[in-house]
Structure 1
Amino acid sequence: MSTTTTSPRLKTSAMIASFADPGQRTSSAPFGHALAALAETDRRVVGLSADLSKYTDMHVFAKAHPERFFQMGMAEQLLYGTAAGMAETGLVPFASTYSVFAARRAYDFICLDIAEPNLNVNIVGGLPGLTTGYGPSHQATEDVAIFRGMPNLTIVDPCDALDIEQAVPQLAAHDGPTYLRLLRGNVPMVLDEYDYTFELGKAKVLRPGADVVLISSGLMTMRALQAAEALAAHHLDVSVVHTPTIKPFDEATVLAEIDTPRLAVTLENHTVVGGLFETVASAVVRRGLGKRVVPIGLPDAFLDAGALPTLHERYGLATTSIVDRVLSELRRDDTA
């Protein structure tokens, strides 16, 4: 087992674009550092990657624990088949690639080799939703929709570096497979200002509000908090509920916040088909609440390539777009 060194903290790849706002506090490669730290105390932890360790921050783990890192090449089916075999022997593998490759190329291997026997394999997917400008080949806008129907699979969509750092040991301790929508590179640090701790399977009310409730996951929780601050200038009191675990879903917490006269809005870095919005909407219908829920998310379309700020503006994920949508929906309710 390798020992902890005092060398400078290993950084993320300079080629990775960050969705952080200018001047925002960030943490470099939080997943890689959290996994390396966990492996210091848990000898079962191993890391694998499909030729993308540097671009999923797995290179931090590989440098700290080279004897427990396995580079599988550009072969995602082999990656997850191997991870399944390791889990069968009692190891706890974290296997990273891009989300599109895990969801689209390796689905059957993940389903039958990992999920059906309920093995402790942690699927780490980089570039979830609109976190890259590379276009449809790399933008995993439908990964949650693909994976939600897989039995036994837990799905986590973290907001920031704190979420990731606290999620990693809980994913390792969880019985059964997990899918982490990885935020890589220089990841914003947001939730430490809200007395927040990550709990697998739990949603958290980050701030209360009497007029509007925003239910969000992933990086959209950061945007929801920013929108809540901006909407205060319009004399609106906005609540934000962060739902980092998409499956299993914390219906009790979320529905308690929705079952009020407030405007309810979901925000997700994912197509509005099959993700957080439909998870919330189905829970509302099954509970018989009769409540309208407004979705903010990506369209059911293949998205453009380009710079992230431009794309977030174009597809409605920017803070200003959220503010405009909330104000528009409130005006609609006033005239209804």
Structure 2
Amino acid sequence: MSDIKKIATRESYGEALVELGREHSDLVVLDADLAASTKTGVFKKVFPKRHVDCGIAEANMMDIAAGIAAAGKVPFASTFAMFAAGRAYEQVRNGIGYPHLNVKIGATHAGISVGEDGATHQAIEDIALMRVIPGMTVICPADDIEARAAVHAAYETPGPVYLRFGRLPVPVINDRPDYKFEIGKGVVLKEGKDLTVISTGLCVPETLEAAYQLEKEGISVKVINIHTIKPLDEELVIKAARETGKVVTVEEHSVIGGLGSAVCDTLSTNAPTKVMKIGVQDQFGESGPALELLDKYELNARGIYKQIKSWI
């Protein structure tokens, strides 16, 4: 995919905030001394009076966001996923989730593709932590177009929303006239009859590439992009499982509590199906170049292809 345009979804987040800021005067952006990294700095340049740098105090930032939301405005609280979902978990749960306040959490640098920052900064548990909070919407966009659409949709959605973005530039795969983003609705990217592969975030374009390789070997693969992990598109997941009989989930997250667990929860109740979960296998990440880590943890196209081929 070297010839395809690549953009980091954190870049998309910053640009989408500026677009929204021009449309809505009630939008306020908060950051925890990471505006250059989370790309909220572009919003600050255009709307300096509507940007609040809370310093390296993520828990405090979440409570400030809660207060701003209670006052009737729409805050986007931004920091690394490890700090948003990890360090500030109690404040997100009790200060935002419990009163169901209209706070949007922009969590960047998620997953092992953070790279050299290592295990302490590589959030591979954040989806699990956020999806268990009652009323929390959880979105993990696959590319620039989807990320921008997700930010706009989050603004329009009442209540707390967790938006998961990455550091690594990823291929733009949704650049087509018929693309439509809708919270809670998955997108079928490729039809197939032998197997369904359900993917999210950075792993979606890699999954597509793996599926086309499997197709060359006579294995027909249906590929679904699940950008909204909560609420999950249960209807689509159940329908695909019944059509193909086998399901694989792929995510740059622990196989415990993330997309794979959400899919298994749905299928075990409605359509018991054999499922393989591809992701980080109950272990921490490590320091190293992002692409090398994705290769080692078999979350690139080659690794996904290898695991699926071995399983079937």
User: Do they fold alike, i.e. is TM over 0.5?
Assistant: yes
Partners of 1:140 and 1:202 in 2: CA distance = 25
Amino acid paired to 1:66: P
> Counterpart of 1:220?
203
Partners of 1:115 and 1:327 in 2: CA distance = 41
Amino acid paired to 1:26: K
State the SS of the aligned residue for 2:252: strand
Do the aligned partners of 1:210 and 1:238 also contact (CA within 8 Å) in 2?
yes
Counterpart of 1:157 (choices 140, 148, 153) is 140
Partners of 2:39 and 2:169 in 1: CA distance = 10
Partners of 2:272 and 2:267 in 1: CA distance = 7
Partners of 1:169 and 1:322 in 2: CA distance = 31
Counterpart of 2:114 (choices 119, 132, 138) is 132
Uncovered stretches (5+) of structure 1, i.e. residues with no partner: 1-20, 331-336
> Counterpart of 1:64?
46
Which of 188-197 and 304-313 deviates more?
188-197
- Please tell me whether residue 302 in structure 1 is matched to residue 284 in structure 2: yes
* 1:127-276 equivalent positions in 2, closer than 5 A: 127-133=109-115, 134-184=117-167, 186-193=169-176, 195-276=178-259
* 1:94-113 equivalent positions in 2, closer than 5 A: 94-113=76-95
Q: Once the 2 structures are TM-superposed, how far is the Cα of residue 259 of structure 1 from its aligned partner?
A: 1.4
Do the aligned partners of 1:99 and 1:125 also contact (CA within 8 Å) in 2?
yes
Q: Once the 2 structures are TM-superposed, how far is the Cα of residue 196 of structure 1 from its aligned partner?
A: 2.2
Partners of 1:41 and 1:228 in 2: CA distance = 40
Do the aligned partners of 2:113 and 2:294 also contact (CA within 8 Å) in 1?
no
> Counterpart of 1:16?
none
1:215-234: CA deviation from partner (whole Å, max 9, x where unpaired): 11111111111111222221
> Counterpart of 1:25?
5
Partners of 1:242 and 1:194 in 2: CA distance = 17
Partners of 1:248 and 1:64 in 2: CA distance = 33
Do the aligned partners of 1:31 and 1:184 also contact (CA within 8 Å) in 2?
no
- Please tell me whether residue 328 in structure 1 is matched to residue 300 in structure 2: no
Q: Once the 2 structures are TM-superposed, how far is the Cα of residue 188 of structure 1 from its aligned partner?
A: 2.9
State the SS of the aligned residue for 1:31: helix
- Please tell me whether residue 84 in structure 1 is matched to residue 60 in structure 2: no
Partners of 1:183 and 1:313 in 2: CA distance = 17
Amino acid paired to 1:196: Y
Do the aligned partners of 2:196 and 2:240 also contact (CA within 8 Å) in 1?
yes
Task: Give TM-score scaled by structure 1 length.
Answer: 0.88
Pair 292,124 (structure 1): closer, same or farther in 2 beyond 3 Å: same
> Counterpart of 1:282?
265
Amino acid paired to 1:146: L
> Counterpart of 1:292?
274
Q: Once the 2 structures are TM-superposed, how far is the Cα of residue 323 of structure 1 from its aligned partner?
A: 1.0
| Bigger CA radius of gyration | 1
Counterpart of 2:105 (choices 95, 99, 123) is 123
Do the aligned partners of 1:271 and 1:298 also contact (CA within 8 Å) in 2?
yes
Partners of 1:198 and 1:155 in 2: CA distance = 14
Task: Give TM-score scaled by structure 2 length.
Answer: 0.95
Partners of 2:231 and 2:103 in 1: CA distance = 17
Q: Once the 2 structures are TM-superposed, how far is the Cα of residue 205 of structure 1 from its aligned partner?
A: 1.1
State the SS of the aligned residue for 1:227: helix
Do the aligned partners of 2:74 and 2:155 also contact (CA within 8 Å) in 1?
yes
Partners of 2:265 and 2:33 in 1: CA distance = 38
> Counterpart of 1:3?
none
Do the aligned partners of 2:193 and 2:244 also contact (CA within 8 Å) in 1?
no
Amino acid paired to 2:112: L
Amino acid paired to 2:191: P
Which of 316-325 and 183-192 deviates more?
183-192
* 1:44-59 equivalent positions in 2, closer than 5 A: 44-59=26-41
Do the aligned partners of 1:156 and 1:180 also contact (CA within 8 Å) in 2?
yes
- Runs of 4 or more consecutive aligned structure 1 residues displaced over 2 Å after TM superposition: 21-24, 183-188, 193-196, 260-263
Amino acid paired to 2:200: S
What is the percentage of aligned positions where both structures have the same residue? 37
Uncovered stretches (5+) of structure 2, i.e. residues with no partner: none
1:112-169: CA deviation from partner (whole Å, max 9, x where unpaired): 1111111110011111112211211100011111122111111001100011111111
Partners of 1:114 and 1:214 in 2: CA distance = 34
Do the aligned partners of 1:30 and 1:184 also contact (CA within 8 Å) in 2?
no
